[in-house]
Structure 1
């Protein structure tokens, strides 16, 4: 008998497969994941196929979603995610998407990297405090790697008020944010943190625009987020970061 569990958002895990609703960009994502797997990466899901508007990819065992937060609290956990993200970015080099492919977001002209688009702690797979996988590729699109780095810093540091850091990101107390920024940047191989807070602010603004764009297309969960007022929370984040940049520099 098949073992299955409902994850949420229309995602179901059945035995060793993750079943998800097909999106307009599923073909592009599957082509990218196939390229990464063919490049020797086992830290991303392997596409299995599409049937009756449901896509199937392989399941990577470990902690993800809400179970991920405890692993990324340490500097060592954070650094492991940065190294894995860099490995994935490097492996996207040479990827040539199929003709007339659609991405969730407009590709950046001249990009040589395909970004994950949502490299937050909950989309990494963790084992024993180490990031070993990167899942949920719906937001992938060609762009400069700093786009992903800024988004990861936004969520791993995190660029959030103290109460949100403790309540939602599961820190026992607000961390030394500047130290986490430096550690992630170094582990990724960024070569420094000059200007990084401004890049995070830009990325926070882009997130607002992208959620709104997907919502206007009538796609959930983004349309539901906007109806429920989540857009206002996203819009407040760049303002908060500007007024608290001293915490990160």
Structure 2
């Protein structure tokens, strides 16, 4: 069947083949397949389904139809309904993983982070979110998923969805409250998430440097185009 390269990616070449998505497999792939299978048993439909591997050894997942929130955002993605639906989607995903996170500590691309509460997506952002109009209906690109605290995943999510840092706007405080309210975060979780934003970005910059130093051309290209400097500036703003 015809392969159609999908927009975005940035690290891996991802293609659509009919109603499926094919992406390079990694040592962590068995965990991702296991995660998707578990999500199905829990009734969470906002993630791809697992279909094993193809003859080329690529991971095969179901294609989630809809619009991905790439930059620049459309008015629908930028609106409050999209923001709050993304928060509810992330909460439903976290809740669906809470029963297995502690027993699935190994085998991921990223190490588990204590305290383990859920399986963090670790890159929850509009560019990894599928929308039906102004409603977030699915999460994609789980390569970096790993067990960890809710606050760690929420930190990056609010940084991206609200957004925070240099992309913050006049309604940042209001949108932050909307996201936390829709997620159902209590005051302690909100405080922990906000305190984790700068450390989460530091972990990202450390990872980018390490991958580029190890010869990962995708991360080297990200650094060359200024992504690393952007995150470092935001760390300063948010610290």
Is this a same-fold pair by TM over 0.5?
yes
CA distance in 2 between counterparts of 1:21 and 1:62 reads: 22
SS in 2 for 1:22: coil
Q: TM-score, normalised by structure 1?
A: 0.83
* Aligned-residue offset at 1:215: 3.2
Does the 8 A contact of 2:37 with 2:49 survive in 1?
A: yes
- Cα deviation per residue 1:103-150 (whole Å; 9 max; x = unaligned)? 221112451310001000111110020010011101100000111111
Question: Is 2:19 the counterpart of 1:16?
Answer: yes
Alignment of 1:162-241 (within 5 A): 164=167, 174-192=169-187, 193-194=190-191, 196-241=193-238
State the partner residue of 1:168. none
SS in 2 for 1:40: coil
* Aligned-residue offset at 1:197: 3.3
CA distance in 1 between counterparts of 2:195 and 2:136 reads: 26
* Aligned-residue offset at 1:241: 2.4
Question: Is 2:113 the counterpart of 1:108?
Answer: yes
Question: Is 2:35 the counterpart of 1:40?
Answer: no
One of 66, 73, 77 as aligned partner of 1:69: 73
CA distance in 1 between counterparts of 2:86 and 2:179 reads: 8
- Cα deviation per residue 1:72-108 (whole Å; 9 max; x = unaligned)? 3112210100001000000002226998953221112
CA distance in 2 between counterparts of 1:83 and 1:77 reads: 10
Q: TM-score, normalised by structure 2?
A: 0.86
One of 123, 146, 162 as aligned partner of 2:151: 146
Does the 8 A contact of 1:68 with 1:125 survive in 2?
A: no
Question: Is 2:120 the counterpart of 1:121?
Answer: no
State the partner residue of 2:84. 79
Does the 8 A contact of 2:102 with 2:117 survive in 1?
A: no
Equivalent pairs, count: 231
Moved more, 95-104 or 85-94: 95-104
SS in 1 for 2:99: coil
Alignment of 1:89-100 (within 5 A): 89-95=94-100
CA distance in 2 between counterparts of 1:140 and 1:207 reads: 13
SS in 2 for 1:132: strand
State the partner residue of 1:245. none
Show structure 2 runs of 5+ residues with no match. Answer: none
| Cα 1:26/1:98, change in 2 over 3 Å | farther
| Cα 1:97/1:191, change in 2 over 3 Å | closer
